[in-house]
C-alpha cells in the first residue's frame, strides 16, 4: 500500500530543492554575489529558468514593495522584467539580495512563498535564513511608503 503525497510533502520537497539550487548558486558564484555576478546569474539557465532583465522602476510596485517580477508576455519563456525600486539604483551591491528573493517567483510561479524565497536566498548567499530575513527587512525599510 503506497502512501499518498500531501501538500506538506510537496512543500518539503520544494524547500529541499530550493536549498539545493541556492547552494548551487553559492558554489558557482561565491558568497559575495555582486552586480556583475548577478547579471551573469540571470543568464544561467541552471538557476534562472526564464530570461530576466532588471529595470529600476517603481511604476508597477505596491507601496513599500522593493521588487517584483513582471511577465513580458503570456508564456513564462517570453521572460520577465524584474522591477526593482529606484532607491536601489545607487546601491547595486544590495540588489542581488532583492533579486534572489524574487527569483523563486520567476522559477516556480505563484506556488512559491516568502518562506521559499528566504530558503533560496539564504542558501545562495551562504548565510542563515534568519540573517537573510533580517537583510531583506532592512532593504524593505529603505523603500518609501
pTM (2 d.p.): 0.92
CB contact burial 65-92 (16+ within 10 A = b; e otherwise): ebbbbeebeeebeebbbbbbbeebeeee
Interatomic CA distance for residues 122 and 19, integer angstroms: 8
Cell of 115: 518562506
Reduce the DSSP state of residue 59 to 3 states and report it.
coil
pLDDT tens sequence across 58-115: 988 998 899 999 999 999 999 999 999 999 999 999 999 999 999 999 999 988 899 9
Instruction: Check residue 51 and give its pLDDT.
Output: 97
| Owner of C-alpha cell 520537497 | 13
The reported pLDDT for the residue numbered 1 is 59
For 13-25, what is the mean pLDDT? 95
pLDDT of res. 34: 95
Separation of alpha carbons 48 and 37, rounded Å = 13
Amino acid at each position: 500500500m503506497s502512501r499518498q503525497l500531501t501538500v506538506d510533502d510537496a512543500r518539503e520537497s520544494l524547500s529541499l530543492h530550493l536549498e539545493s539550487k541556492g547552494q548551487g548558486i553559492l558554489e558557482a558564484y561565491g558568497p559575495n554575489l555582486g552586480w556583475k555576478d548577478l547579471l551573469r546569474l540571470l543568464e544561467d539557465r541552471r538557476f534562472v529558468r526564464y530570461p530576466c532583465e532588471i529595470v529600476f522602476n517603481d511604476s508597477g510596485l505596491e507601496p513599500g514593495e522593493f521588487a517584483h517580477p513582471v511577465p513580458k508576455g503570456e508564456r513564462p519563456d517570453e521572460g520577465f522584467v524584474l522591477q526593482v525600486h529606484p532607491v536601489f539604483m545607487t546601491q547595486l551591491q544590495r540588489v542581488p539580495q532583492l533579486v534572489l528573493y524574487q527569483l523563486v517567483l520567476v522559477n516556480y510561479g505563484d506556488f512559491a512563498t516568502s518562506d521559499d524565497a528566504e530558503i533560496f536566498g539564504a542558501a545562495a548567499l551562504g548565510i542563515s535564513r534568519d540573517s537573510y530575513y533580517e537583510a531583506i527587512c532592512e532593504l524593505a525599510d529603505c523603500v518609501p511608503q
